[in-house]
Amino acid sequence: MATKNPKPAKTSAATPSRSQPKIAKAATPAKSSSPGELSDDMWEQIAKKAYELWEQRGRREGQDMQNWLDAEAIVMDETHEARE
């Protein structure tokens, strides 16, 4: 009669237990990895402004790129003015 191989024991270090709470990441300043990339914070501000523009402009379909570019210009201007 063949014996079955027992399953290897799981280690808590390799596999998190379902009962263990997830640890939140510490808040760090939003930084982009290169000068041409937007930080998460900047991206969120532009997305909110683009949505506002979309609503103000009558929620027209097919204008998402123009709304984004306009929002990007507005947010960038506001950011530069705040730094001066």
pTM above 0.85, yes or no: no
Domains of the chain, residue spans: 40-83
pLDDT tens digits, one per residue of 49-59: 999 999 999 99
pLDDT tens digits, one per residue of 5-42: 555 555 444 444 455 445 444 444 455 556 678 899 99
**The residue count for the chain:** 84
**Taking the CB of residue 76, how many other CB atoms lie within 10 A of it?**
14
Q: Nearest Cα to 43, choosing from 3, 76, 4, 2?
A: 76
Query: What are the start-end ranges of the E strands in the chain?
Result: none
Instruction: Indicate the SS3 state at residue 57.
Output: coil
